[in-house]
Amino acid sequence: MNMTHTWARENFARLETLYHAANGYLGVRAAPEEGAAAGVDSIRGTYINAFYEVKDVRYGEKLYGFPETQQVMVNLPDAQTIRFTAADMAFSMFAPEVTERRQTLDMENGLLRRTCRWQTKHGTLRVAVTRMVSFVQKGLFLLRYRVVSEDFSGAISLSAILNADVRNHAAAGDPRVAAEPHRCLAVREVGLEGGQAYALAETLRSGLSVACRVAYQCSLQPDFTKTQTATTACFSGALNPGESVELVQYAYYADSRRVHSPAMAARDGLAQCQTMGAEALQAAQTAYLRDFWHHARVTIDGDTRLQQAMDFNLYELLQSTGEDGVSNVAAKGLSGEGYEGHTFWDSEIYVAPFFLWTNPEKVRQMLLYRYQTLPRARENARLLGIAQGALYPWRTINGDECSAYFPAGSAQYHIDGDIAYAFLQYWDATGDVTFMAEYGAAVLVETARMWLQLGHMEADGFRIDCVTGPDEYTCLVNNNFYTNATAQHNLRGAVRVVNALAVQGKDVLLRRDTGLTDAELIAFAQAADRMYFPVDSALGISPQDDSFLLKQRLDLAAIPKERFPLLLHYHPLYLYRYQVCKQADTVLAHLLFPGTADVDTVRRSYAYYQQVTTHDSSLSRCVFAMMAARLHMPAEALQLFQETVALDVDDAHGNTRDGLHTANMGGAYLTILRGFAGIMLDGNGLSIAPMLPPGWQGYGFPLHYRGAQLHCQVSAQGIWVRHLAGETVTMDILGQPVLLHAGETYRTGLDT
């Protein structure tokens, strides 16, 4: 379960992203310990999920309600620098004398390993580096730097540097990255104490503080020095042929969003890690991942390359997602500064389902983040002229809107429906009454209220005007199909959950805290039942909105390949006036809400939108892959899946250097479950209708559902659903209701 690359100077920052180490709380990019050589593309970064600075949003012309500030993820004090010299020569892995350079991501043990061979004038040395960000000790970044002499004789030194003087990365001209570098941290104190180094820093405006404390273990004696912003621990000695030396560095981070005193938390956490020791910490990492893969791994029989890519996608979802209620998952996870660490609707639609089926408690924590920011969502609604309910921001860290471009940002009201969708999926998959009574129902009610304020009832139904759907190349339209579908689902879901709680007498606190009335529930149901959806009888498809089909189609074939993605080469107003899609929009609505159209309409719509969609968004191909599988087009579905699962490994969008496309990785997982396996979950329960992609011998995946641990296996010989442990459950398999008890296996033929 490994991924290996040889080091290359070209686009090295892409490898720093792919091989980063993270645990959902802390992330460290795989920058070279010794620093990058001149001309090498490198982005050095260490991040804590949802630890942010506030910066001003600059406008040439600012109107009422535009965000005045935004939050940005902060590049933290750097503890990954180790300078190595041998016989007064500085080591660089980019030097021509360095050969056999390899780096391996060990996803079974949660380690990054780098190895190389350095041929110096005084003999040959081997350098082996192991990195680990611990899933067990969340604040720990462990670095082991080992040097082995083959035939080298001479003096060596290893200098470990803790540098608190850091800045955030920037890329002018790319709206997906900050436009200019900026300093987020003020260094409060750098020091040495008891053989340990530490740095304390505070954000300049948001008032958050972070501590990093570092301890060292080495057979050589250290010499410590410090400046106002950095410390250095230098370990000097000599090596002879056959000898080796290893520097083990424990760096522990803590922040004020989680603990009262980051300095004390870093000191205590570091002490626990030292007591355990590096070997025990690595063993605990292996045990953690053994359990993760047991509950999460998707197996693909007959395609080794796809299996490796799938493993990588799922491992990165684990590395990216917070589980403390303070954080969620950023668009780039903890792998880079693209989108400045913001959480989008991607979190609920593409990432949450992976944990829903593999670790429901983690989804619970993701949803708690949305509940915790509900007060800010209410404030955001008022700012946008919505008198009741809550409107979640399009992109955020702390719950405030970070989008300065409202047509393709704040106008995406569908985010309320996306968040409601995740709460309802959690409810249907777990039946967690307590969670819904205490947290989930309030979110459903407040988001449902927003739709009543945003929309209006007309003779032809409940209409929602001036919104933007997922397709950001079509903005500020009336009755976006996807938006109306999420609104309908949200409204009906609020009624369904409140009624279920009322049956058990658990709606009292909800009604008291939100002021919910029976009249509102009736209004929710009426708006949902009369929701307006645009139709086109001539084409027999679902129009993306009221005006989409009236626009001139953009000739995509006439646009040179280097002009994609279009958002980097064409003014938004140019794109808005054409019939062109950045990503799946109506197709996604048909996928998530199958009741919105019959299968013939869905099939024709799929074919139509394939012609006008650029897939400039990383969220697009996976949706088309899922729908192609649903429509029994296995070859097309497989091709789209292959492009989805390899998007970052192949750097298909050319910006993996700035961070992974985390939601796309969730989309790869969903293509297996929602697409090939045909899994659907709603108020009626769980159903599965698998197909076998061409060329595959089979595939399998675990499922957690209603307290049961299941495993599904699909091959040409049939379908096996094994009930491994837990509660008795009923699920629909190829249209047949099946009751499963612990220890039982249900087998049936594959529906061809």
Angle at 100 between CA 156 and CA 304, to 5 degrees: 135
Q: How many residues does the chain have?
A: 752
Task: Name 732's bridge partners.
Answer: 687, 737
The reply to whether omega before 565 is within 30° of 0 (cis) is: yes
Which tokens belong to 417? 């429906």
Where is 352: in which H helix or E strand?
helix 352-358
How far from 424 is each of 432, 677, 734, CA to CA, in Å? 11, 21, 24
Q: Are 157 and 176 in contact (CB under 8 A)?
A: no
> Cβ-count burial of 519 within 10 angstroms (0-12 exposed, 13-18 middle, 19+ buried)?
exposed
Told to judge if 61 belongs to the known catalytic residues of this protein, a careful annotator would answer no
Choose the catalytic residue: 16, 33, 337, 472. 472
Cα distance between residue 283 and residue 132, in whole Å: 11
Cα distance between residue 675 and residue 628, in whole Å: 8
Which tokens belong to 436? 């819904």
3-state secondary structure 195-241: CEEEEEEEECCCCCEEEEEEEEECCCCEEEEECCCEEEEEEEEEECC
| DSSP class per residue in 70-82 | EEEE-PPPEEEEE
Cβ neighbours of residue 571 closer than 8 Å, sequence gap 6 or more: none
Cα distance between residue 733 and residue 114, in whole Å: 46
Angle at 187 between CA 181 and CA 188, to 5 degrees: 155
Cα distance between residue 222 and residue 229, in whole Å: 19
Q: Are 296 and 358 in contact (CB under 8 A)?
A: yes
Cα distance between residue 87 and residue 280, in whole Å: 34
Residues recognised as catalytic:
472
